[in-house]
Chain A
Amino acid sequence: MEGMKILLVDDEEEFVKTLSERIEIRGLKADVALSGEQALKAMDENLPDVIVLDLKMPGMDGMEILRRTKKAHPEIQVVMLTGHGSEKDENEARRLGVFEYLHKPVDLESLLRTVTNAYKNKFKSSMVAVSFA
């Protein structure tokens, strides 16, 4: 999965920085955004392939970012990773087109598996989009 660009969005700095470090140890690229606003800014600068998104954040929350991302760049795959989240949130996220909905704490290997699947899915769906075109 060389060249896959991941954006980690979470207000919990200790968590998200460590996570990014661990991903990078494994030879992948993972940017960090500590708020919704930072995430949108990061997306403008460098479009990621997969976003790992926290749900509850001060300011703009995960659901809003998901909504905007899917509107502006529907091909970007979003994996929700949250410590909160009821069934209602999950259903809402799925309706908005989230690739997967995971609960914290998560095993890194299974997170990376999901992210990789999402990355593959991006091309599948973009190919469908291309064939439509």
Chain B
Amino acid sequence: MNFKNLWAGLTKSLLHESDHEATNRYRILRRNIFILMILITIMPLIIMAVIYQHEYHSSIKKEIVIPMQTLTHKAKHSFELFFEERLSVIRFIAASYSFEELSDQKTLNRIFKALMDEYCCLIDLGLINKKGIQLSYAGPYDFLGKDYSEQKWFQEVVVKGNYISNVFMGYRKFPHVAVAAARRTEDGSALILRTTLDTSRFDDIIASMGLNPESDAFLINRSGIIQTSSRFYGEILDHCPLSFPRGNYEPIVSEVRDPQGRDILIAFAPFSTSDYALVLVKPKSDVLHTWHTLRSKMLFIFISSVVLIILVVFKLTDTLVKRVKEADEKRELTYREFQHTHKLSSIGRLAAGVAHEINNPMAIINEKAGLMKDLVAYDSNFQNKEKFLGLTDSILKSVERCSAITHRLLGFARRMEIQLVELDLNELIQETLSFLEKEALYRNIELILHLADNLPRISSDRGQMQQVFLNIINNALAAVEDEGQIVITSWEEDSDTVGVSIQDNGSGMSEEILKSIFDPFFSTKQENGTGLGLAITYGIVKKMGGDIKVKSKQREGTIFSVYLPQKAKIGPGE
């Protein structure tokens, strides 16, 4: 396949597809451009938004987690200090006093009173011997002689040296914590000091954390029993419904959903010296409030920019496709015109060549037949004279007909040659009409002239201009019914163009016919037309640098508009 074929195929596909296909093609083009533009504009935006959201989310979380850890750590420390203080003081007492002194109720009372002055929250103080029997007691209850030997804490304190109990309800139904320390005496027996603390101090420490009403902080023990009252997760000694990460002495922050269905952040800090762990709970919604406002702002910006992009892309695509379509149409038109002019000129050349070649043999036939006729005519004795003369006459008539055809063809070719004169178009139109007035009169067709006064004279070829208007007006006459109407208008289009329109109210033409009316040998008049009239007209007007436009509606009529330059710009001729 050579380039020429390829080009022909391409232009064919471009120019001869049906309107439906063309519309479809532009629709697909529009869709593809639209999708592509949306993708390349919105995709990076989406990716950026997702990354940004992710990064910001994790950094905000870090910002929240660290203060929670710090706060928990500090509070845990306060608790541990509180216990350590109490433990150390009773350890000190156990070390400073002898077993006998402490067994003395009076001495113990004195020590307890001094302790009460120095340290808060002490409820009682008692001495227990190695058998687990309470030997002396200072405090509000009567625990003297009580046997602790079977209790678990007693065994623990004997082994470990000190002990901090879980919270328990005392006799007065108050939450208490017991703290005990053991000392081995010189004689090998053990003395154990035990003091009970009230837990009001715990609440103070938690209050000092300065939590907002949505947050919560409390102590629990290793088996998940709540040790200080919680805002949301139960009273003292209830089982805590939350679960916690295990094993680490540093505060750990985790995300869970609590039984109320709130998403919460939990900081969990187990105590190193005792069974307790401090729990800090903050609702996520509260914590992430700033994040949420930021996210909604981001979402708003994202959505509005997407909407804006879609609108702009839509408009842009529309304009773009329209431009492409216009360019295509323009190109198609130019191509058609080019094709047409080309066709006309080749036909002109062909016609001239054929006419010339045929004229010579035609002349011979003409002379031979003429001679035969002469011979017969001058011979008085010729048999079948009449018949013979008839035959030769018929030959001569046929020759005449052929010659008329070749002359017309030559004329067609010759119309490509131009002689410029200055002429008045109005006058020319009236002159042309004079050839046709009889037919119009006979058929009762109304001829209306709207000719502009002071129409500029144009420089053009008189004969060819006559041909142009004769052809168009003739067609108009053929198109209208009897008693129809033809309106001829002339005007000055612009400073160097003159326009003439010929409008009829005849049968009009279909789109299909309209496309081909300027093609040579295209005729709707069957045997009455050569199909050359409008082709010649078109050729002449184009050659003069003018233009013809046709508008037609079936059953309503046709309007031919001829635009002629005031000074003919002669196009490339034959």
Chain A residues packing against B (C-beta within 8 Å): 12, 14-15, 18-19, 21-22, 25, 83-84, 86-88, 103-108
Choose one: B362, B400, B413; the contact of A104 (CB below 8 Å). B362
| Given the contacts A25-B378, A105-B362, A105-B403, A14 and B414 also touching, CB distance less than 8 Å | no
**B368 — which chain A residues lie within 8 A by C-beta?**
14, 18
Q: Name the distance in Å between A43's Cβ and chain B's nearest Cβ.
A: 23
Determine if A83 and B417 form an interchain contact, defined as CB atoms under 8 angstroms apart.
no
- The residues in B between 351 and 406 inclusive whose CB is less than 8 angstroms from any CB of A are 352, 356, 359-360, 362-368, 370-371, 374-375, 378, 399-400, 403
Q: How many residues of B contact A (CB 8 A)?
A: 24
**Complex alpha-carbon distance, A15 and B359, angstroms:** 12
Contacts of A83 in B (CB 8 A): 356, 359-360, 362-363
In the complex, are the beta carbons of B417 and A12 less than 8 A apart? no
CB of B57 within 8 Å of the partner chain: no
Given contacts A18-B364, A22-B370, contact A84 B359 (CB under 8 A): yes
Whether B356 and A19, one on each chain, are in contact in the complex, defined by CB atoms closer than 8 angstroms, is no
Q: Say whether A14 contacts B364, CB under 8 Å.
A: yes
B359: chain A residues within 8 A (beta carbon): 83-84, 103-105
Q: In the complex, what residues of A have CB within 8 A of residue B414's CB? A: 86-87
Residues in A with CB closer than 8 Å to B407 are 103
In the complex, what residues of A have CB within 8 A of residue B378's CB?
25
User: Which 9 pairs, one residue from A and one from B, show the smallest C-beta to C-beta distance?
Assistant: A83-B359, A105-B366, A104-B363, A18-B367, A105-B363, A83-B360, A84-B356, A105-B362, A104-B359
Q: Which residues of B contact A104 (CB under 8 A)?
A: 359-360, 362-363, 366, 403
Write 12 A-B pairs (CB below 8 A) sorted by A numbering: A84-B356, A87-B417, A88-B417, A103-B359, A103-B403, A104-B360, A104-B403, A105-B359, A105-B362, A105-B366, A105-B367, A108-B367
> Given the complex, which residues of A lie within 8 Å of B413, measured CB to CB?
86
A104–B360 CA distance with the chains assembled, in angstroms = 7
Contacts of A107 in B (CB 8 A): 366, 400
CB distance from B368 to the nearest CB of A (A): 6
User: What is the CA–CA distance of A31 and B366 in the complex, to the nearest angstrom?
Assistant: 20
CA distance A114 to B43 in the complex (A): 90
Once the chains bind, are B364 and A12 in contact (CB under 8 Å)?
yes
The CA of A12 and the CA of B370, in the complex, are separated in Å by 16
Q: Decide if B363 touches A108 in the complex (CB within 8 Å).
A: no
Asked if B356 and A15 sit within 8 Å, CB to CB, the answer is no
Which of B352, B363, B370, B375 is the one whose CB lies under 8 Å from A86?
B352
In the complex, what's the smallest C-beta–C-beta distance from A15 to chain B, in angstroms? Answer: 5
A128 to B359, CA, bound (A): 38
Task: Tell me the complex Cα distance, A22–B362, Å.
Answer: 17
Q: Which residues of A sit under 8 angstroms from B365, Cβ to Cβ? A: 105
Q: Are B417 and A86 in contact (CB under 8 A)?
A: yes
A103 partner residues in chain B, CB cutoff 8 A = 359, 403, 407, 410
Minimum Cβ distance to chain A for residue B388 (Å):
16
Q: Which residue of B lies closest to A109 (CB)?
A: B370
A15 and B360 form a contact (CB under 8 A): yes
Residues of A within 8 A of B400 (CB): 107
**In whole angstroms, how far apart are the Cα atoms of A12 and B367 in the complex?**
12
The distance from the CB of A24 to the nearest CB of chain B, in whole angstroms, is 10
Q: Within the complex, what minimum Cβ distance (angstroms) separates B384 from chain A?
A: 20
* B370 surroundings in chain A (CB, below 8 A): 18, 22, 108
CA distance A14 to B417 in the complex (A): 33
Q: In the bound complex, do residue B362 and residue A21 qualify as a contact, i.e. CB atoms below 8 Å apart?
A: no
Residues of A within 8 A of B375 (CB): 25
Contacts of A15 in B (CB 8 A): 360, 363-364, 367
A15 to B365, CA, bound (A): 8
Q: Are A106 and B374 in contact (CB under 8 A)?
A: no
Q: How far is the CA of A19 from the CA of B368 in the complex (A)?
A: 8
Chain A residue contacts of B360, Cβ below 8 A: 12, 15, 83, 104
Inter-subunit contact A18/B399 (CB<8 Å): no
Considering the chains assembled together, what is the distance between the CA atoms of A53 and B410 in angstroms?
20
**In the assembly, what is the distance between CA of A18 and CA of B370, in Å?**
9
**Smallest CB gap from B352: residue in A:** A86
With A84-B359, A105-B359 known as contacts, the answer to whether A19 contacts B417 (CB < 8 A) is no
**Interface 1/0s, chain B 328-368, versus A by CB < 8 A?**
00000000000000000000000010001001101111111
> Once bound together, how far apart are the Cα atoms of A105 and B399, in whole Å?
8
